[in-house]
Amino acid sequence: MRWRAMIAVLMAMAGSADVGRAADPRYPDWPCAQAKVPEVSLAAVWAGPPLDDVANKWKDDATVNALVSRLAARRTPLDEAEKTIAEFLSGATPEKSERGKLLFAGLFDTLNAQRSSVMNGLERVTRKQREAADSIRAETLALHAQQDAATPDQAKIEQLGNQLLWQTRIFEDRRRVIKFVCEVPVAIDQRLFALGRMIQQGIE
């Protein structure tokens, strides 16, 4: 009886909301309340000079490379980033513009890639969650069958019950992590936009 009551609660938790119900039919595995925007388009974050001629060139410049890693990292506060960018862009105008373009091209590539990998991860975990929910459901049925048997195997019931408890706990933990990680793509968007704006102001 004890198990039955607990299982009912677990089932309700595992069956509810988050798994398998996507807001956008195009992205059935997308678990977040935030709309999925697969890629940030350059025009949404950059109104500066065109970057076509610097694509991939930023990788050849060691200084820019190092700066991109530093500025892309979320542990670098934005006001520190602003100072770093201002220092990097000091100097004559034409050169300033070229350097700004290189730097932003690098940040755009890097942060967009980070964003994609986080988003792929979220969808992968959602698929796993769906599998876990199926397995919890199946094991619950097995447990019920044992309990309803003419001669219930108490040891088996205990074992199945414990197993279910653990699976559900993992399921719930993952759900909490998903909710938290859903904020990451947005945080990356914000960072990319803020850095882009600083660079544009610097080369204007």
* Minimum CB distance to another protein, residue 187 (Å): 10
Restricted to residues 157-186, the positions that interact with another protein (CB under 8 A) are 186
Q: Does position 32 bind another protein by CB under 8 A? A: no
Of 71, 126, 189, 202, the residue at the interface with another protein (CB under 8 A) is 189
By C-beta, is 99 or 191 nearer to another protein? Answer: 191
CA distances from 138 to 164, 169, 197 (A): 10, 16, 52
Compute how many other C-beta atoms are within 10 angstroms of the C-beta atom of residue 145.
11
Compute how many other C-beta atoms are within 10 angstroms of the C-beta atom of residue 164.
22
Nearest to 191 by CA among 40, 49, 65, 47: 40
Binding letters toward another protein, positions 33-52, x by CB under 8 A: --------xxxxxxx-----
Q: Does position 197 bind another protein by CB under 8 A? A: yes
By C-beta, is 97 or 200 nearer to another protein? Answer: 200
By C-beta, is 136 or 192 nearer to another protein? Answer: 192
* CB 47 within 8 Å of CB 200: yes
* Minimum CB distance to another protein, residue 148 (Å): 46
Compute how many other C-beta atoms are within 10 angstroms of the C-beta atom of residue 138.
10
The residues, ordered by sequence, that sit 6+ positions from 90 with a Cβ below 8 Å of its Cβ are 96
* Minimum CB distance to another protein, residue 42 (Å): 6
CA distances from 62 to 21, 106, 113 (A): 46, 11, 20
Considering only 88-96, 149-157, 175-183, 188-196, which stretch makes contact with another protein by CB under 8 A?
188-196
The binding site for another protein (CB under 8 A) comprises 41-47, 186, 189-190, 193-194, 197, 200
